Amino acid sequence: MQYAKPGDVLDVEMPVLFDVDRRTQIVVDSALFPSAYDLTRLDWRNDSSAVTFEYNQRGHQVYRVISVDAATGVPRVVISEEPETFFCYSGKQFRHDLDDGKEIVWMSEHDGWNHLYLYDGVSGTVKRQITSGAWAVRNVVQVKEKERQIFFAASGMYPGQDPYFVHYYRINLDGTGLTPLTNADANHNVVFSADARFYVDTYSRIDLPPVSELRHTSNLGLVERLERAEIDELVGAGWRPPEIPGAGHSSGGAYADHKRYDFFTRHLLGVSPPDWKLLENDLKKWNTTGTRPAD
């Protein structure tokens, strides 16, 4: 098997511009994006005045949005993330260009929490922080440019609920009008209609079977309860759900599953961090895998 070894010369990706009419190359200075771990695809502005891409430096401590002038080949930094630890490019990166890049919605942990910011795409300055508070944006579902609204998922906003539960919200690009779309004490998954006038909210906990409801986006009104899982026969057969882990949850309960207790004890003591996806997928929503029959 052939693969690169220490000391080998490696291929390096570089953006290259050509003037088709003049049949000449326009050299792009790479000083702003050295030692690249990855460069994203090149995206042209609608008027072909510039091309943009994202640069992830090897080591992931510098992540930038770069714009290159198509006429001169001169690059400039539009957005630059340079955290003390590393930029989570695989799970906390979001960018949405508005009005052909004149504004940019960007996700960042600038204030210590994962939030959304509105950038001036021309000057590269922050126009405003869209979301803020001691809670974290999990992902952006949709940006409605005409209405200047964002639909997004977040965790940690409801006191007394498990801070890992995912809830959904709507907010205006100017930071006003934050509206919760879900409130049940559970982990939520929301799917919007194509025009975002309606959404289906499916929620559950490890001790609450899934419930699916159709709601209006404008007033959050319940249109119809689509489905609620019935577990009477399952319980009658001797099955019971695991108890809620941790103190302070509104549903109470002790964590009595010894195998999982041992897992958390071992990992929380610092042997290795727990898998975040396990916390989200296995312990926060309805799951019959690995549960115990009644004593």
Which tens digit of pLDDT belongs to each residue from 32-88? 999 999 999 999 999 999 999 999 999 999 999 999 999 999 999 999 999 999 999
> Among residues 92, 79, 158, 62, which one has the least CA distance to residue 126?
79
Predicted pLDDT of residue 283: 61
Contact 52, 42 (CB under 8 A): yes
Name the one residue in this structure whose structure tokens are 């405003």: 128
Q: Is the per-residue pLDDT at 266 higher than 50?
A: no
Q: Compute the distance between CA of residue 4 and CA of residue 7 in angstroms, rounded to an integer.
A: 8
**Is beta strand 103-108 parallel, antiparallel or unpaired with respect to 95-98?**
antiparallel
Q: pLDDT band at 235, cuts 50/70/90?
A: confident
Domain region containing 64: 11-90
* Within-domain flag for 5: no
* The two three-digit tokens of residue 24, written as one number: 């000449």
Q: Is the per-residue pLDDT at 265 higher than 50?
A: no
* Within-domain flag for 119: no
* Within-domain flag for 38: yes
* Within-domain flag for 35: yes
* Within-domain flag for 47: yes
> Among residues 180, 190, 243, which one has the least CA distance to residue 214?
190
* Within-domain flag for 257: no
Mind giving me the DSSP string for 67-101?
EEETTT--EEEEEEE--SS---TTTS--EEEETTT
* The two three-digit tokens of residue 2, written as one number: 């052939």
Q: pLDDT band at 6, cuts 50/70/90?
A: confident
Q: Number of structural domains, the chain? A: 1
Contact 181, 169 (CB under 8 A): yes
* Within-domain flag for 288: no
Question: pTM of the entire structure?
Answer: 0.83
